[in-house]
């Protein structure tokens, strides 16, 4: 059986480290501030926002929630973002996605100041990631960041490894591929049009599954001793399952993340980490 990569444990370690940084920032004059904007009452989004607010409060981060009606106009939403951009007590701004159909998601993301874009979706931040600018302030998307932390903190060396990413989304697939490249892995990105996908997956030392299809990755798609990161969260018959057939894959993988309890807790931990980073940059 493979080693289980415990996302709850690792995210807890990161949050403990952040508490020390937040305490120091408070002594220097001000704790980090995070504002989350929730449009409408999508149950999944509301639950996620509640978890973010709870974690921020536990860590000592100044947390602001902006819950607005689903029929808010785009201009009204842009005004809220503009006010948060100009609020000196707010270091990080997150607009919870998805947004209602009448709102232009791209325009909203671009309205957030890049220096407060703790979700890592602004074109300035994605551009700095994709062009490998490590010497400038940059916020990377939280789930991909969490994946890198999971791999490294579980004792797995990324450098020189063959990594296969299943999925090409802007939220996970593309950014995690670039973060792996920065760690000197060799990358293959697979998607719905990829030929011989099972064979490509089975060649991976590091396999990241982010396709949104329950138990898509079967045991024969996993290389012996591979590190398998399951990003999927799918509800099947009332239960949460990942994109990986956990039972089959764990017979071959050297290390594997469970669902739930793997990647999920890391996303919020890295959001808090980005918020602290933003506060450190902004100063008092």
- pLDDT tens digits along 224-260: 999 999 999 999 998 999 999 999 999 999 999 999 9
In 3-state terms, what secondary structure has residue 188?
Answer: strand
Average pLDDT value for the chain: 96
Q: What is the mean predicted confidence (pLDDT) over 63-84?
A: 97
Catalytic residue among 96, 200, 205, 230: 96
Band (pLDDT 50/70/90 cuts) for residue 284 is: low
Q: What percent of the chain has pLDDT over 70?
A: 99
Q: Phi, psi (5° rounding) for residue 172?
A: -125, -60
Q: What is the token pair recorded at 25?
A: 């920032």
Q: What is the mean predicted confidence (pLDDT) over 93-102?
A: 96
Is 220 an annotated catalytic residue? no
39 DSSP β-pair partners: 68
Q: What is the token pair recorded at 244?
A: 């990986």
Q: What is the mean predicted confidence (pLDDT) over 154-178?
A: 97
CATH 3.40.50.10860 occupies which residues in the chain?
29-121
Q: Phi, psi (5° rounding) for residue 165?
A: -110, 120
Q: What is the mean predicted confidence (pLDDT) over 118-135?
A: 95
- List Cα–Cα distances, 139 to 221, 241, 245, in angstroms: 33, 29, 32
- Look at domain 29-121 and name its CATH class: alpha beta
Is 74 an annotated catalytic residue? no
CA 153 to chain centre: 16
The pairing of strands 92-95 and 62-68 is unpaired
CATH 3.40.50.720 occupies which residues in the chain?
142-265
**What is the signed CA dihedral for 49, 51, 56, 57, rounded to 10 degrees?**
110
What distance in Å separates the CA atoms of residue 179 and residue 190, rounded to the nearest whole number? 16
pTM of the model: 0.95
Residue 2 is predicted with a pLDDT of 86
Q: What is the token pair recorded at 262?
A: 């793997």
CA 103 to chain centre: 23
Catalytic residue among 52, 66, 116, 252: 52
- List for the chain the helix, strand, coil content (%; round to 5): 45, 15, 40
- Look at domain 142-265 and name its CATH class: alpha beta
Structural element, H or E, at residue 264: helix 264-282
Catalytic residue among 6, 91, 117, 119: 119
């Amino acid at each position: 059986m493979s080693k289980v990569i415990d996302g709850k444990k690792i995210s807890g370690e990161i949050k403990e480290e952040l508490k020390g940084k937040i305490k120091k920032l408070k002594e220097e004059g001000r704790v980090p501030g995070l504002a989350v904007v929730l449009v409408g009452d999508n149950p999944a989004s509301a639950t996620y926002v509640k978890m973010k607010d709870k974690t921020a409060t536990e860590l000592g981060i100044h947390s602001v929630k902006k819950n607005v009606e689903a029929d808010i106009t785009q201009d009204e939403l842009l005004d809220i973002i503009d006010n948060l951009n100009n609020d000196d007590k707010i270091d990080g701004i997150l607009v919870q996605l998805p947004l209602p159909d009448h709102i232009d998601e791209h325009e909203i993301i671009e309205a957030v100041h890049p220096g407060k874009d703790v979700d890592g979706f602004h074109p300035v931040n994605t551009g700095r990631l994709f062009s490998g600018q490590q010497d400038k302030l940059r916020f990377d998307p939280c789930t991909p960041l969490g994946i890198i932390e999971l791999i490294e903190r579980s004792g797995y060396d990324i450098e020189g490894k063959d990594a296969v990413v299943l999925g090409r989304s802007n939220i996970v697939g593309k950014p995690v591929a670039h973060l792996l490249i920065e760690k000197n892995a060799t990358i293959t990105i697979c998607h719905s049009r990829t030929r011989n996908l099972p064979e490509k997956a089975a060649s991976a030392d590091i396999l990241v599954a982010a396709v949104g299809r329950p138990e898509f990755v079967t045991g024969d798609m996993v290389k012996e001793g591979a590190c398998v990161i399951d990003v999927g969260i799918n509800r099947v018959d009332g239960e949460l399952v990942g994109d990986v057939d956990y039972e089959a894959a764990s017979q071959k993988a050297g290390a594997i993340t469970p669902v739930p309890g793997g990647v999920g807790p890391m996303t919020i931990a890295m959001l808090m980490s980005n918020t602290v980073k933003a506060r450190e940059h902004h100063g008092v």
